[in-house]
Amino acid sequence: MSPQDITITDHVIPLAARDHGGDGPAVLLLHGLGGTLEAWDALAPLLARRHRVVAMDLRGHGLSGDGLWEWDAVLDDLDAVVKHFRLDRPAIVGHSLGGMLAIMWARRHPGCPAIVNLDGLRSAENDPGNYPGMAQDALKTALDQLKATFDAQTAVMGQPVPAEQAPMLPQRALTARDGHSYLRPGPETLAALRYAPEFRDAIPLLRAVTCPALVVLSDRDPAGMDGGELMTAFRRGVRRDLHDLPSTVRVTELAASHNMVAEQPSDLTDLIIRFLTGSAKK
């Protein structure tokens, strides 16, 4: 079947979803911060060959409604989508922020068959101790620069998009207000997430997950971006801290950047299908 776009209206906020169809065990796909359900358009049809697949826009993103970013409220949104599509105990596959939500979903729903976290364990703006191997002076300079970059990005999200730029941006990522276009999510959502402990570091939450979980880490910077020593140290810190995990958690790396869903949809699909199939047999 062709993907079907649906807006769920019997919830506290409207929720936009894309039904990719498919037979087999259900999977709910969750995009990352600043993304939309369109992030899965290459991967979802491949996954739908073996699974029943639905993607959604998180609150404050895409065509879903606005609302305070509170983790329990966002998980309620996921519950509403699962109920609407009558998904029977879905596995949750999430990228970045979506991967963090997958972890939280598994804690709320211990009977979840499995979750897949795609490079969603920590925000890049983090505590100095999470960048091992960097000289302190260089680390402080790099973190100050990163903070300034994120401050500037947050400020931009609150400003109208220049009229000449709006047609070149994904229309699902824009909202119209007062005759202007604005990027989503807005600065309120960014501020709520930026310093939230769960967003800064989801590894402690991962340790409490009891269902089968697959974590896929990136091994490089995105094409055209040189994160320098800071991001290399960041990835080193994540690997360092993934110790003493429950036996149900599997960690692997993919030859891709944080943008792995766009870069390697086929390889990711193979990983996800093998993992979910193996988990179902246990």
The confidence band for 70, taking pLDDT boundaries of 50, 70 and 90, is very high
Residue 19 has pLDDT above 80, yes or no: yes
Query: Which has the minimum average pLDDT: 65-79, 81-95, 223-237, 240-254?
Result: 223-237
The answer to whether the beta carbons of residues 175 and 93 sit under 8 Å apart is no
For range 218-233, the mean pLDDT: 84
What's the pTM?
0.96
DSSP state of 160: P
Cα–Cα separations (whole angstroms), residue 223 to 98, 207, 215: 22, 32, 22
Q: Is 277 helix (H, G, I), strand (E, B) or coil?
A: helix
The continuous run of DSSP H or E covering 26 comes out as: strand 26-30
Strand order in the sheet with 91-95: 4-8, 15-21, 52-56, 26-30, 91-95, 115-118, 213-218, 249-254
* Six-digit token string for 17: 């979803």
Residue 272 has pLDDT above 90, yes or no: yes
* Six-digit token string for 88: 């029977």
Q: Is 250 exposed, middle or buried (0-12, 13-18, 19+ CB in 10 A)?
A: middle
Q: Report the sign of the C-alpha dihedral through residues 135, 219, 260, 269, in that order.
A: negative
Cα–Cα separations (whole angstroms), residue 82 to 89, 195, 249: 8, 29, 24
The answer to whether the beta carbons of residues 34 and 193 sit under 8 Å apart is no
Identify the pLDDT of residue 282.
Answer: 67
DSSP state of 116: E
* DSSP notation for 161-226: PPTTTGGGS-GGGEEEETTEEEESS-HHHHHHHHT-HHHHB-HHHHTT--S-EEEEEE-SPPTT--
12 Cβ contact partners less than 8 Å away, ≥ 6 residues apart? 67, 73, 76
What dihedral angle (degrees, nearest 10) is formed by the CA atoms of 25, 209, 124, 93? 0
Identify the pLDDT of residue 223.
Answer: 73
For helices 71-84 and 97-108, the axis angle rounded to 10 degrees is: 80
pLDDT digits (tens, 9 = 90+) for 175-205: 998 899 999 999 999 999 999 999 999 999 9
Residue 273, φ and ψ in degrees, nearest 5? -65, -45
- Mean predicted lDDT score pLDDT of the chain: 95
Residue 37 has pLDDT above 90, yes or no: yes
The answer to whether the beta carbons of residues 233 and 141 sit under 8 Å apart is no
